[in-house]
Amino acid sequence: MKKSSMFSVVAVAAVSMLALAGCSASTTATSTRACVILPDADSGTRWESGDRPALDAAFTAAGYETDIQNAQKDANKFATIADAQLAKGCGVMVLVDFQGAGVAVATKAKAQGIPVIAYDRPIAGADYYVSFDNAVVGQMEGQAVLDGLAAAGKDPMTASIVYGSGDPTDGNAKMFLDGALSVLDAAGAKAAFTMKGTWDGPTAGTEFEQAFTALKGKVDAVLAPNDNNAAAIIAILDKNNMKVPVSGQDASVAGLQNVLLGKQTATVYKPFTIEAKAGAELAIQLLKGEKPTEAKTNDGVPFLALSPILVKAADVHIVVEAGDAKASDICTADVAAACTKYGVK
């Protein structure tokens, strides 16, 4: 799902930008339950530690019941969860897609008159799409690689860069990669090795080990699609006593720690509390029978785009101050000195 004529919203003001058309939504759903399916519970991702409590808090504060479940990286489980939720009754479904499983669920929900919000990842057939500006996320990741190379005094045109990307079944992955390539290509950078796309950390580690071997250890930088991938890649670099520019996104605890330690150049922070609040507010409007109007993707899906933030070591405190990470989790023994240096408290 590509985006066109979208509007970009400053993250801190995103929720206030939802406009109402003032007419009833075309849905026959009568339930007031908000059904949510998350894709995985990996410690290096944001879904359980960030989005679940933020979404639950937003719906609960508005007086709505939630049914939030996790597919645990299993497309079949995703479908099973959805069937059980739909059987019990949903007034709206908020889905974070996993390997295309959201498409069939969206079709079933819409057949029952239940509106579907594609949350963070696009889903063909969804009624609404709430996410960050994915092209900008990718551009920031590409820029992080270039910034890291510049700091190391290396020319991007001759640097040996390993390119990684997210799971190709995730519609966001191509947008992230395209955004990164737009920046890297413009700088004359080229991939010395291109890994297969994945969001799974261990898989990314295996692929990077293969890249490292193929390049005989000559790696100057890594375009990693998220912090989960980056952590696995950094573990292999550590094993080989190497520190090179590595990108990432999600501002996970592990990612923020690696940024503070100088092992990851930056992470792209997508304030999930803002995204959750925006997604929940949109869902609540639908539960109330209202029909929001938004800018649209080029295939006609109303789209609310939020603005990401590039976080380097000096910016980590921003994530903590926003309440999206705890200093006590980040500033463990080996990171404590860096936290003091950069004012993370």
Interval 177-233: pLDDT, tens:
999 999 999 999 999 999 999 999 999 999 999 999 999 999 999 999 999 999 999
- Of 46, 168, 176, which Cα lies nearest the Cα of 100? 168
Return the pLDDT at 140.
Answer: 98
According to DSSP, the β-strands at 267-269 and 309-311 are antiparallel
> What is the average per-residue pLDDT within 247-265?
97
Q: How far is it, in rounded angstroms, from Cα 162 to Cα 242?
A: 14
Q: How far is it, in rounded angstroms, from Cα 211 to Cα 163?
A: 10
According to DSSP, the β-strands at 290-293 and 19-24 are antiparallel
Residue 25 reports pLDDT greater than 70: no
Any idea what the Cα angle at residue 199 is, between residues 130 and 273, rounded to 5°?
Answer: 35
Return the pLDDT at 26.
Answer: 38
Interval 41-96: pLDDT, tens:
987 788 998 899 999 999 999 999 999 999 999 999 999 999 999 999 999 999 99
Q: How far are the Cα atoms of 21, 128, 167, 264 from residue 171, in angstroms, in the given order?
A: 28, 15, 9, 25
Residue 24 reports pLDDT greater than 50: no
pTM (two decimals): 0.83
Return the pLDDT at 6.
Answer: 30
Better-scored residue on pLDDT, 333 or 17: 333
Interval 134-177: pLDDT, tens:
999 999 999 999 999 999 999 999 999 999 999 998 889 999 99
Tokens of 311: 């976080």
DSSP string for 171-186: HHHHHHHHHHHHHHHH
The confidence band for 22, taking pLDDT boundaries of 50, 70 and 90, is very low
Mean pLDDT of the chain: 89
